[in-house]
Amino acid sequence: MDPRIREHADIIVEHSTDLQAGENVVIDAHPVAEDLVVALHERIADVGANPLVVSERTGTRFRRAYLRNHEGDFDFPDHQMALYEAMDVYIAIRASDNVSQTSDIDPETTREYDQVTQPILEERLGKTWCLTQFPAAANAQLAEMSTEEYESFVWDATIRDWDEQREFQSHMVDILDPASEVRIVSGEETDVTMSVEGMTTLNDYGEANLPGGEVFTAPVPDSVEGTVYFDKPVYQQGREITDVRVTFEGGRVVEHSAAKNEDVLTNILDTDEGARRLGELGIGMNRGIDRFTYNMLFDEKMGDTVHMAVGRAYDDCVGEGREKNESAVHVDMIVDMSEDSFIEVDGEVVQRDGTFRFEDGFSQ
């Protein structure tokens, strides 16, 4: 086994989830991630926790078979809920044998299934969880890299000094957490403002997301105004949505378009009322991730980007007594901030062309 797989498992168990003896762990993984599942079991045994392996990630052939053959009107799976209620820690491993495995499922079916099973998602998100990536061949292919190069990309981004990264990102938390208004401007098209007043800005340094490397908060749902051009593609339901443009009025997406797979985007926005509002604003700060790989777990952490997600907000970002955006979906979309761009917080520029105010080379 590649020794980096055991280092990866060490970080998941010791840093990301801080696993303790007697805790009940669910590992949710596609079969191609077997090596990491093995390494995790070694460490879980060391700690004295209790593992269970499930395979409920969306990109499996059997999930596809189930959704394609189902006539709709999904039943709620009580046994899954019972499992996740009794679970303490959830480790989800992204990996695929074919990233287009879900591409011939009717988006309407996926939407219905997501709606019915939303309480399960909520239950899992209420526990200690870690979402990470195993560098399977199909994921390398999506990133347009050889498997070996992709392995290095994933493990270089993952096996890091997370204390150092936390320290770097804390400067941005200190700016955003007490702020009221945020404005994001990029290129000719993107100019959007939103309130984050009363919301909590979190520092992601490789806990729930591994790799980590972002600072994120929840916009006040009704406050978002303006237009955004997401210049990086979005991969959803096995399909690539490109050149997404959305316009917000009163927090709601009132216009949207995409060059490719616009219908998939429309379906996402039509999932429920919350799917037309922003649930997250994130600032990518992981300079170890230096290329776009069609994988949101990495892409949203790239230095010199921001991302916004339509759909569900994270509980921990929503201040007490504040309205939380609820939805069955959470879809991140990315804006490149490396050129001709700035982030303004309460009227002050805090990042210009990818350089933060607290870094060398920043110019007001």
Query: Given the rule CB under 8 A, which residues bind a second copy?
Result: 21-22, 24, 26, 31, 34, 37-46, 48-56, 60-63, 65-71, 73, 75-83, 85-88
The first and second tokens of residue 88, run together, are 């303490």
**In Å, how far are 35, 137, 209, 325 from 38, measured between CA atoms?**
5, 18, 20, 38
CB of 75 or CB of 320, closer to a second copy: 75
Q: From 229, 356, 190, 209, select the one nearest 295 (Cα to Cα).
A: 209
CB of 356 to a second copy, least distance (A): 42
CB of 72 or CB of 250, closer to a second copy: 72
Quick check: 328 and 167 in contact, CB under 8 A?
A: no
CB of 75 or CB of 360, closer to a second copy: 75
Q: From 256, 33, 27, 235, select the one nearest 143 (Cα to Cα).
A: 235
CB of 155 to a second copy, least distance (A): 20
Q: From 292, 332, 295, select the one nearest 314 (Cα to Cα).
A: 332
CB of 61 to a second copy, least distance (A): 5
Quick check: 265 and 144 in contact, CB under 8 A?
A: no
Phi, psi of 116 (to 5 degrees): -65, -40
The first and second tokens of residue 351, run together, are 């990042």
CB of 66 to a second copy, least distance (A): 4
CB of 87 to a second copy, least distance (A): 5
* 11: amino acid identity, one letter: I
CB of 65 to a second copy, least distance (A): 4
